[in-house]
Chains A and B, each alone.
Chain A
Amino acid sequence: MGYVPIKGGKAAIEAAEELVRYFRLRGGSAPLEVKQIRDQMRLAVDQVMGEGSLYAPFHAALALKQAEGDTIEASFLLRAYRSTLPRIGYSLVADTREMAVIRRISAAFKDIPGGQILGPTRDYSLRLLDFQLVEENPTHIKEFLREFASKAGRGEDDGKEEVLPSFPKVVDMLRAEGLLETPNKTEEAEEIIDITRQPLTFPAPRAARMQAMARGETGGLMALAYSSMRGYGNIHPTLGELRVGYVPLRVHHRTRPDEVVTVGRVLVTEAEVIARMDAGEDGIPRFTLGYGLCFGHNEIKAISMAVLDRTMRTGSKEAPAEDEEFVLYHIDGIEASGFTAHWKLPHYVTFQSVLDRLRRAQQVGRKEEGSQ
C-alpha cells in the first residue's frame, strides 16, 4: 500500500505556529536582544555553532532566541540557513599551535611549558544557585568590569605578557621523547573528504570521522564516550592537554591566489587524550592518542570526541564506542532528532495495518482456544 494523501489541519497548524510565539511572549518580559544571548549565553551559542556546523555567533544566538533555548532546534535552524549559502572556498589548514589561548590545562603533567592556565572555568566552583544574579543590573555590571580592569597590573604575571605567548604542545613533548605513537601516514590525501557533500561510507576515512564528530551533538558524543569510560571498551584516557582559544582563519586571496588573507579569528576547543599503551610495528610500546576539536568553547564535546576517536581505533567492535558505524551514525543531533520527531507525524495507515493484523491474530487465537 502506498501513501494516502490527506487534507486538513491548515488552520490548526497556523494557529499552532501563532501559539509558539504567544507562549514565548505571554510572560510580558522585555524582549531578549540577540546580542544579549550572544554575550551572556555564550556556551549555548558555542554548542549551537558546533552542532550546526556553522561558525556564526550572531546567527547562532538568533537561532537560540527563535528556538526558545532548544539547542538541537537552534542547530537545525543554523544548518538549514547554512544550506542556503554558497561556499566560496576552503581555508588554509589551521594549526592550533598558533592558538591565542584563553584556557589551557593538562591532567597528565603538573608542570608544562607555559604553565596551566585555568581561564574562564566553573570546574572549581560549588554548584550553588547564585541568587544575586536575580538582582543583577547595568550598574552591577559596570562596577564589576571596572573592578576587574583595576586588577590588571596586580598579578605576578602582569607586565610580562607584552607578546602573546604560543604554547608548546604536551603531545609534541611526549613524541620528542619517543613515548607517544607517531603518525603512520607519510603522504597527504589529495582531497579531504567532506561529509556535507559525500555520504559517510565505512570504514570511514579519518577526515570523515573527525568532521562527523566535530558537528556531532554534545550529549550524544558524551553518552558514547561515557560508556567507554565506564568499561565498555575502556581506553584508560588521561587528558594530555585541553586548550580553548582563537585560531586564525586564513584563505587564499580570491583574485591573487598566491596571497594569503587572514579573515578573522575562530574560537575552538581542542582536546588530546593520552590512552593505553600499544606496541607499534617495531614492537616497542608507546602511548596512543585520541584527538578532539570543535567550534566554540565546549570542553565536554572536545574530550568526548578525543575519547571516541581513540575507541574507534581499537580495532575491535566489542563495545558500541569501538564500532565506528555505531558511533558516527548516532551522534548527529539533527539526524537523530529528526528521526525521533518523525514519530509525531501521522502513521495512520501503517498503524491501521498493524491493528488489522493484531485483530486477525486475536480472532485466530480465540478460535484455536475454543476448539481445544
Chain B
Amino acid sequence: MNEERLRTILHRVDNGILSQLARSVLAASPEIRVIKPPQVGLVMMQARETVENEPFNLGEVLVTECTVALGEATGWGCCLGDDPERAYHLAVLDLALHLGVGPVDGIRAALLAEEERILREDGAEFANIARSRVQFEALG
C-alpha cells in the first residue's frame, strides 16, 4: 500500500476511527506539538472547461487546516467544512505516516479496512443510483 493511496483514503476515514488512530499516535509520541492550531480557511477550487480546455476558478471551498510537528518534521491536516478536531487528527496521522512514528502497521491495517468499507459503501450507493439507468427498447 503506497503513500499516495493511504493519503487518498484519509479524507474519507470515519471520524471515530480517525480519532482512535490519532490518539494512538499521540500516546506513542506525546512530544508531537501543534504549531498551527486548527483554523478555518478557503481553498479556491479550480476546474477545466471543455470548450478551450482552459482552467478557471469555480469558487471557494470552506476547509479547516492544522499543522503539527515532531522535531523538525511537520504534519498537515486539511478537511472540508469547519471541523477543527478532524483537521488536527488528520495532521497527526499525516505526520505519523510521513515519519513512520506510532503504530504504523496498525494504522495501515485500519486504513486498509476503511478503504474496503468506503469501496463497499460507494459500490452499494452506486448500485442504488444505477437502478435509474435507462434501458431503451426499440419499438416496432
A and B found bound together: yes
A residues neighboring B (CB under 8 Å): 49-50, 53-59, 82, 85-96, 100-103, 110-111, 115-119, 148, 151-153, 155-159, 161-165, 169, 171, 181, 183-185, 188-189, 192-196, 206-208, 210-211, 214-215, 247, 249, 251, 253-256, 259-266, 268, 272, 289-291, 293-295, 309, 313
Known A194-B44, A263-B11; judge A157-B127 contact (CB<8 A): yes
Shortest Cβ distance from A110 into chain B, in angstroms? 6
Shortest Cβ distance from A203 into chain B, in angstroms? 14
Asked if B80 is an interface residue, CB under 8 A from chain A, the answer is yes
Total inter-chain residue pairs, C-beta < 8 Å: 238
Nearest B residue to A95 via CB reads B48
Q: Which of A151, A156, A206 contacts B52 (CB 8 A)?
A: A206
- A residues less than 8 Å from B132 (CB atoms): 117-119
From DSSP, what is the main secondary structure of chain A's interface residues? mixed
Q: Which of B10, B41, B75 contacts A87 (CB 8 A)?
A: B41
Contact indicator B124/A293 (Cβ below 8 Å): no
- B residues less than 8 Å from A118 (CB atoms): 132-134
Contact indicator A94/B76 (Cβ below 8 Å): no
Shortest Cβ distance from A247 into chain B, in angstroms? 8
Nearest B residue to A264 via CB reads B80
Known A192-B55, A214-B58; judge A85-B41 contact (CB<8 A): yes
- 10 A-B residue pairs with Cβ-Cβ distance under 8 Å, sorted by A, are A91-B45, A214-B59, A249-B61, A253-B76, A255-B75, A256-B76, A261-B11, A262-B11, A264-B80, A291-B51
Q: Which of A50, A96, A211, A313 contacts B57 (CB 8 A)?
A: A211
The answer for the CA separation of A65 and B8 in the assembled complex, in Å, is 34
Known A91-B45, A117-B129; judge A56-B56 contact (CB<8 A): no
Q: Which of A153, A156, A183 contacts B53 (CB 8 A)?
A: A183
- A residues less than 8 Å from B129 (CB atoms): 101-103, 117, 119
Contact indicator B59/A161 (Cβ below 8 Å): no
Contact indicator B61/A89 (Cβ below 8 Å): no
Task: With a 10 A CB-CB cut-off, give which of B7, B8, B78 has the most chain A CB atoms.
Answer: B78
Annotate B52-71 by CB proximity to A: 1 below 8 A, 0 otherwise. Answer: 11111111111101010000
The answer for the CA separation of A100 and B126 in the assembled complex, in Å, is 9
- A residues less than 8 Å from B29 (CB atoms): none
Q: What bracket does the count of chain B residues touching chain A fall in? A: 35 or more
The answer for the CA separation of A27 and B52 in the assembled complex, in Å, is 53
Contact indicator A91/B54 (Cβ below 8 Å): no
Contact indicator A82/B43 (Cβ below 8 Å): no
Nearest B residue to A49 via CB reads B59
- A residues less than 8 Å from B119 (CB atoms): 162-163
Asked if B117 is an interface residue, CB under 8 A from chain A, the answer is no
- A residues less than 8 Å from B115 (CB atoms): none
Known A89-B44, A91-B46; judge A116-B133 contact (CB<8 A): yes
Contact indicator A183/B74 (Cβ below 8 Å): no
Contact indicator A261/B127 (Cβ below 8 Å): no
Task: With a 10 A CB-CB cut-off, give which of B41, B45, B82, B135 has the most chain A CB atoms.
Answer: B45
Asked if B47 is an interface residue, CB under 8 A from chain A, the answer is yes
Known A58-B81, A87-B43, A254-B76; judge A192-B51 contact (CB<8 A): no
Asked if B112 is an interface residue, CB under 8 A from chain A, the answer is no
Contact indicator B50/A291 (Cβ below 8 Å): yes
Known A117-B133, A262-B7; judge A88-B58 contact (CB<8 A): no
Contact indicator A56/B81 (Cβ below 8 Å): yes
Nearest A residue to B11 via CB reads A262
Asked if B40 is an interface residue, CB under 8 A from chain A, the answer is yes
The answer for the CA separation of A115 and B39 in the assembled complex, in Å, is 43
Q: Which of B46, B122, B127 contacts A93 (CB 8 A)?
A: B46
